[in-house]
Each structure stands twice: as C-alpha cells, then as structure tokens.
Amino acid sequence: MLPCARGGGPPVAVIRLPLILAGTCLGTGLALLGGRYLLRQLPQPDPLLASPQLELLLHLAPDPSLRRQAALLLLGRAGEDPRRQRALLAGQGWGFDPLAAVVLKRDALAAASLGQVDSAERLWQQLLRRFANQPAAADGLYALGSQQPALRQQLLRRFAAHPAALAAAVEAGDAVHLARWGVRWPGARSLLQRNCERRGPIPTAAERDQLASGLAQLGDVEAAQRCLRGRAASPAGQLAIAQALVKGDSSETQRGEILLLQLAQRQPTTPLGREAARLLCEGRGPVNLQLVRQLPASLRAGGAVQARLALEPGLAGQRAAALGVLRRWPAEPAAWQLQWELARAALLAQRWRDAETLLAPELSRSLPGALAARQLFWLGFSQGQLGQQQAARRSWQAVLSQHPWGYYGWRAALRLGKGELALTPAADRPLPRPQWRPLNSGQHSDQLAVDRLWRLDQPLEAWEQWRLQSGGKAPETPRQLIVEGRLRRGVGDHWIGLGQLEQAELRLPPGDCQLTAALQASLAAVPMAASLERAGRGAGLAPSLLAAVARQESRFSAAVHSPAGAVGLLQLMPETAAELAGRPLAHHELEDPERNASLGASYLSQLLRQWRGNPLLAVASYNAGPGAVAGWRQPNPQRWPELWVEAIPYPETRLYVKKVLGNLWSLQLARQPHC
C-alpha cells in the first residue's frame, strides 16, 4: 500500500510523476535546442579541414547532411581507389538535396570502374528518376545513352552546354551542336571541317552559317568561307570572320577591317554594329584611319572612335584632343589605350613634361588597378626626370600601396630602394601551392549551388554546373572571369583559366578588395611546383624565376605546342632541347614536365650567366634570342632599364619581359590584400 500524506491527500508518487515527466520533457527540449544551437555554431566543412576531423564528422555528426558533406570532402582525398570511393558514398544518396544527385553520379562512376555494370546502371536509373533536372543527370543520360540513343538526344536537348553533351556530340558527329555550344571542345574543329565539306541537302544554309561562325572563332577563316559556298554569312558570322581576319597578316587584316566597316554601316544601332566599330578602332595605320572615318556619324561620336581619331599622326592639337577624350570618356578602354600610346611616345622621346601631363592622376581615376600601376609608375618616372623627387616618390609609393604586384610594382619598389629579386635558390622562397579559398560566385541560387560544390571539393561538378547555367557563353564581367578562371584552374585547365584571370586583372576596377584577393591568390598558385623547384635548384636558379617563365610560356600546360614548334612547360624548341640534352628528344619526352623544366632551367641559367645576372636581358633573350638582344643597346639598359624595355622593337618580347618579371616579383612578394 502506498504511503499517504497526512490529512488523507494523494500519494507522494502521484504528485512526483507529473513533475518528473515535465522535467524530462523540459530537459529534452533544452537538449534539442542546445544541440541545434551547437550545430549552427559548427563551421561548414571545407577542404581546409583535416582528414581526421572529417572522419569524425562522417561517423559521429548528429546531422546526416554534415555526414554527407564530410563523405564528399573525403572523396576528393580517396584518389583513384573506386572501392574506397564506394565505401565513403554508401548510404549517402538519401533525400532530395541536389548533393544526393552528386553522390549517385560519383557512386555510379566508381561502380562502373570496378566492372559492376548492373550496380552502375541501377544508380544511373535512380539518378534520372529522382533528379532529372540536375546537371548530374547529364552524365546518367550519357552513360545509359550508349545503349539507348534516344537518351543521347534528350541529353543534347536538355543539357546542351554540359560537357557530357559535348562529348556525345563528338561521338555522334553533331558538328552543328558543337559549333553552337562548344566550338573549342576537343575534336570539334575536325568535325566542323568535315561537315562543311559534305554535299547534298545537309547541312542546311542556316547550319552552314553556324559551322562557318564556329570555324571563324577557331581562326580558320579559309575553311569558314569555303563552308559558306559563296553565300553571305549572317551578321554574327560576319563579325566572327572579321575578328579572325584582323589577327592575320596585313592583307587579311585589311579584309577584316573592311568587313567590320561594312557591318557597322549596315547595323549602326545594334550591338553587333557597335562591336564592329569598336574592333575596327583597335587597328592602326593610315588605311585603318581612312576606314574609321567612314563609320556612320552616330558611331563616330562614340568614345572608341574619338580615341582612335585622336591617335592620328601629325594631328594639330593632338595632346588637347587626347585630353578631351580622356576627360569625356574616362571609363572607355580605348581612351586608356590612347593615353598609354601617347604617353609611351613622349617617354621614348624624353618629353617629360608632355608625359607628365598625359599621365595626370585626375585622368586615370577609372583605370583598373594593373593599368593604374603603370600610369602611376611612369608619372613618377617623369616627375623624377623633371627634378620633382618628392612627387616621384609619392607616385611610386602609391603603386606599392594600391597595386604592388606585377612588373610596375617591382619597378616602383626598386625606385624606392627595396625591389631586389632573388635569382638563386638560396635567396628564393618556396613556390606557392594551390590552396582552397571560397569561390563567392554570387548570391543567385544557381551560384550558391556552384559555391557549395566548390566548398565540398567537387571542382568538376562545380565547373559543370557553372557552364550549364551560363549556357556555354564566355564570361564578360571581371567577376565572371575570375570565377570561371578559378573553376577552370580547379579542373586542371590552366591554359584558359589563367588567361581569363589575366583578362580580369586588366579590367578589375580598384576598390573591390575581396575580388582582388581571390584574383591574386589564384594567379600566384603554381601547379607542378615540386618539379619546378627541383629543376631550379639543380641549375642553381631561383625556382620562382623558372615558374614565372613557365606561366608566361605555357600557363603551366605541359602538352602545349606553339605554332613555331616549341614544346612543353618551358616551350623549348626541339633543337635547343637537343643541344642541352646532348641528343634529340621526342615530343613525348619534351612534354614530360620534369624533363622540360630541367632543360629550361639549364638554358635560362646559361642566359643569366651570359648577361651577368641581368634579368631583363636574360628574359628578353629567352623570348627573342640572345643575338637579337645584343643589338638592342639604346636606350642604355643600365641607365634606363624601364625605357630600354619600352624601346624593344618586338611588341611580343616587350610584353613578354614585363609579364615574366612581373610574375617573378608577384611570386616573391608573397603579399595578398588584407580586407
């Protein structure tokens, strides 16, 4: 019998039971709230998290989404072991989060590599059933489409710009699809050419125009014109053909400029017509000037045309006309080029006062950081020649505070007594390896999806998502160039990726510290760093100098061949490589990064010794040959090193010297923006 309270009240246990239940519920609720709070405080896992921490998350995290993220991050560290990959992905394909689609895709690929055909097919089918509109579904359509051609057609329609669709188009011989969505995809060029040579009703006139435009984008103007078979190209096709022609020899350039003029005259109010006029104004010479003067009045009133007209040789009041253009169109790239061309001419003629006027800071407030550094450096140089030493130092200090990287950062530092380069291994620092940083591609849901895949160390998935959402269109803004350049570098395409990052540097306006930091960190990353360090040390050469040359020569692309016949990472001519190696080398040997870096380091070391450690002369010789450089003695390279570079008669070598030594300074500076 239960004991009762005095006075006949209810049993004590009856009183305590609700209190116990209430306490239990309250404790459970507080624990849940505390758990949620703690989960919110946990950082999102990313590639910087060590593997032991990821393993703990994978096995012990109370949130299953965290366990899946940990599995995907560990997947990137599993190498090529498909069994390990499948073990990590087991049970992670749950729910409707798009990450489940990525899990199913990666699991199917791992199963296929193990020869588990039935398992792979079940995973692909599950992926298509549950995530038909996710980019990963494109890979499912491609894989299953090998036995079901209708699925390949779905792939081409639904995911036109996806790499899986481009691969399917190559296999199917669908040149028109490639011309529209992936003209630079491997195998596209030969397919476009073969399709253009076909007789009969296919391809149609519209398809021929598409094929011709694609060939023109690839620079194959003759094939593009043969493809048209005497028909006129569409306006877009004409623009593509003209763009390719103006990059050719003098006769081709003139043909291209005439096409640009005709297009601008026919469509003066359209974006195509305005772009044609802008491209025409990039030309030089008296014939080009005559064509520019024939542009419609509405186009002649624009900044690009007025900047070109202000470059006319012998123009009365040229400086006043140029200053007027700079003041009226400060954000016009053609005005920036006008300013530099006139200022460079004044500098080479040692007209310091004219140069100072043209380089005045108030004319350059809209310049991107890299171009502003050039303007400020030469302003300081002119001020120094005019005896304004304090003003010169302020200008050079402004370079170091605003844009310390690159060639002009180096020259400004030297002018201030602190820009010595390390040319030997002992004085050099380790090369910066690629390191993960957030992508920050934007705030749209598609962009956030790309960012999440990047954070989970899935660069290929992130790249495919980005390409699909952009429809394969080339990036336009500095931010787009930076994001796509970083994505391309993330999947190993350093050739295009670095090119896009360099374009962004020439367009990025000052003031955006976060974008500048992301750009400079990605530009500095050196793939194959260990090979370059070994080669540099072996030749007694600073590895950072070797990396600086490799970036400019091949953008770290080991298999690239130049039109002149140079091969590999350091772009060695086979004859030079044979002399260095003591025997002829096959192309596959020169494409080996280790061997190519070793031979390139030996050659560069020889040039440095020949020029007594002068990096300007050695680097110029690497590009133009020591014989040519020996004849460039004016201005004196010891007294006027910067003017000597500007006086190099080969524009390619002039740019090359500045790029390589700017790369070297940036690698050795090891300074990133502090935001």
Peptide bond into 3 cis (omega under 30): no
Residues in contact with 33: Cβ distance below 8 Å, sequence separation at least 6, in sequence order: none
553 is catalytic: yes
Instruction: Identify the three-state secondary structure at position 561.
Output: strand
Alpha-carbon gap, residue 12 to 7, rounded angstroms: 13
201: tokens are 């009703």
Picking from 366, 367, 391, the residue whose alpha carbon sits closest to that of residue 379 is: 391
Q: Is 299 exposed, middle or buried (0-12, 13-18, 19+ CB in 10 A)?
A: buried
Q: DSSP letters along 622-634, please?
A: HHH-HHHHHT--S
Which of 356, 553, 591, 642 is the catalytic position? 553
Report CA-CA distances (Å) from 421 to 396, 410, 418, 562: 18, 9, 9, 29
Residue carrying the six token digits 């820009």: 419
Alpha-carbon gap, residue 629 to 635, rounded angstroms: 13
Picking from 456, 414, 427, the residue whose alpha carbon sits closest to that of residue 439 is: 456
Neighbours of 12 (CB within 10 A): 12
Whether 45 contacts 73, CB under 8 Å: yes
Q: Is the dihedral of CA 139, 142, 143, 145 positive or negative?
A: positive
Report CA-CA distances (Å) from 595 to 320, 528, 540, 604: 55, 12, 16, 14
Picking from 398, 368, 652, 407, the residue whose alpha carbon sits closest to that of residue 506 is: 368
Alpha-carbon gap, residue 63 to 329, rounded angstroms: 56
Alpha-carbon gap, residue 371 to 378, rounded angstroms: 11
Alpha-carbon gap, residue 222 to 269, rounded angstroms: 29
Residue carrying the six token digits 């954070």: 455
543: tokens are 């590895």
Contacts 24+ apart (CB under 8 A), 263-268: 263/235, 263/238, 263/239, 264/295, 264/296, 264/299, 265/294, 265/295, 265/296, 266/235, 267/235, 268/295, 268/296, 268/298, 268/299
Whether 348 contacts 642, CB under 8 Å: no
Q: Is 628 exposed, middle or buried (0-12, 13-18, 19+ CB in 10 A)?
A: middle
DSSP alpha helices (H): ranges in 476-573? 478-490, 494-505, 513-524, 529-538, 543-554
Q: DSSP letters along 359-428, please?
A: T-GGG-TT--HHHHHHHHHHHHHHHHHTT-HHHHHHHHHHHHHH---HHHHHHHHHHTT--PPP-SGGG-
**Termini Cα distance of the chain:** 75
Picking from 581, 551, 578, 556, the residue whose alpha carbon sits closest to that of residue 565 is: 578
601: tokens are 């380091």
**Catalytic center residues:** 553
